[in-house]
Chain A
Amino acid sequence: MENEDTQIITEIRGGKTSSFRFLVEKHQNKLYDLALRMTRSREDAEDIVQEAFVQAYSKLHQYNNTCSFANWIYTITLNIIRNKLRRKSLLSFCGFNQTLNDDDTQREFPDPWQNTEDNLDKKELQECLKNELDKLPLILKESFILRHFHKTGVKDIAAQLSVSENAVSMRLLKVRKLLFKELHPKFPEYFKNTLN
């Protein structure tokens, strides 16, 4: 995967700029998902991803292969997200309903098992989780999204956030404890492992 990105970047540097499209198509969904989860606004998420790719293209000469392109573009995107959130004073305190409409909710959790009681309950839990995430500081929220929604390893998160692996582990530990404290009383059945 990384080799593929490196090869494309080599092609772009060699003058075949149209190859940048492959990088955009490959990474745009995850970056868009990250931006959307952080900003809770589709328009902002689109703007952020576009800006991130434009910045990446213009700074491609600065990119070295010491980190993967994915980590590099994540770092750029996260910086833009932080700036945007600071600028708009959104941070993570905006309510879900203020920026996403019903249609967004449907698209976020397409639920093939909607008829089962168990999954209705889980959907409610996920909804609560999102709301609780919105209340958290930015640095905790981004760590949680990267780890649990994007399944990113601690090492890669550290590279993307430009912090140590220890710092990431501490942030994850803190955010999980905070979320556990809020969610466990309402949904104890989902924390059976922890209670054992």
Chain B
Amino acid sequence: MNTKNENHLETDFNSICENTKTHQAPDLWPKIKTQIEKSEKGFSLWKQSLWSKGLVFACFAVIITLAIPGATETIKNGLKKLFSSNYSLQIGRSDEISGTFIIEEGEIKKINTKDILVEIKMTSLDEKAVKINVSVFKKQKDGSLKLYSKPAIVALRNTLATISVTDQNGVPIYKIGLTPSEKPAKYKGSFQKLESDD
């Protein structure tokens, strides 16, 4: 269709539509006036745009939630990840002890033996990796603790990670094996006592 025909098409449709009458609206002023008066009487808050109303509502909700005793702590704990880990610990040439413990992200778990105290902390890095901080203390005769070593490793979830420390002669001092695996938030389990009298 060329430009001439396009112009003719416009003329044709003008002609087709020329006798159509504009619909007459009923008198809308009384209803409009009522609505305007209502809106003017309303709170100025409700004159704001929808997103700002939503923002105000969200702020109120947060404030109310945080005002509930213990709610903040519950939220904070709810966001923490929960790990369970098989562990094995061998001090020197003694027998290996092993078991399973459950640990919250950031929490410090202690494995207590006769001569050694091991503290373990786990932090989730991403979907695959977990950072494990280990502090190994040697118990002194006077009961005090002396930090022996403080290794930190990045371990894969559900994979055995081993920390092995030997002296300068290659004699093993301790060896720790950990297999961190994340538990779902709703996971419940009792904390196992990790103290050992070895």
Using a CB–CB cutoff of 8 Å, the interface residues on chain A facing chain B are 17, 20-21, 24-25, 28-33, 36-37, 45-46, 49-50, 53-54, 57-58, 107-110, 122, 125-126, 129, 144, 148-150, 172-173, 176-177, 179-180, 190-194, 196
Contact = CB atoms under 8 A, between A and B. Distances in A.
B138 to A, nearest CB: 73
Main secondary structure of the interface of A (DSSP, over half): helix
B15 A30 contact: no
A2 B49 CA distance: 29
A53 B1 contact: no
Interface of B: 1, 5-6, 8-17, 19-26, 28-29, 31-33, 35-36, 39, 47
Given A129-B16, A176-B6, A191-B12, A29 B36 contact: no
A41 B31 CA distance: 18
Given A24-B32, A53-B32, A190-B16, A108 B23 contact: yes
A155 B24 CA distance: 26
Contacts, number: 99
A29 B24 CA distance: 5
- Ranked nearest first, the 4 interchain pairs of A and B with the lowest CB-CB distance are A32-B25, A193-B8, A33-B23, A148-B17
28 contacts: A17-B36, A24-B32, A28-B25, A29-B24, A32-B25, A33-B22, A33-B25, A36-B23, A37-B23, A45-B25, A46-B25, A46-B28, A46-B31, A107-B23, A108-B20, A108-B21, A109-B20, A109-B21, A129-B16, A129-B17, A148-B16, A149-B17, A149-B20, A173-B6, A176-B6, A176-B13, A191-B12, A193-B9
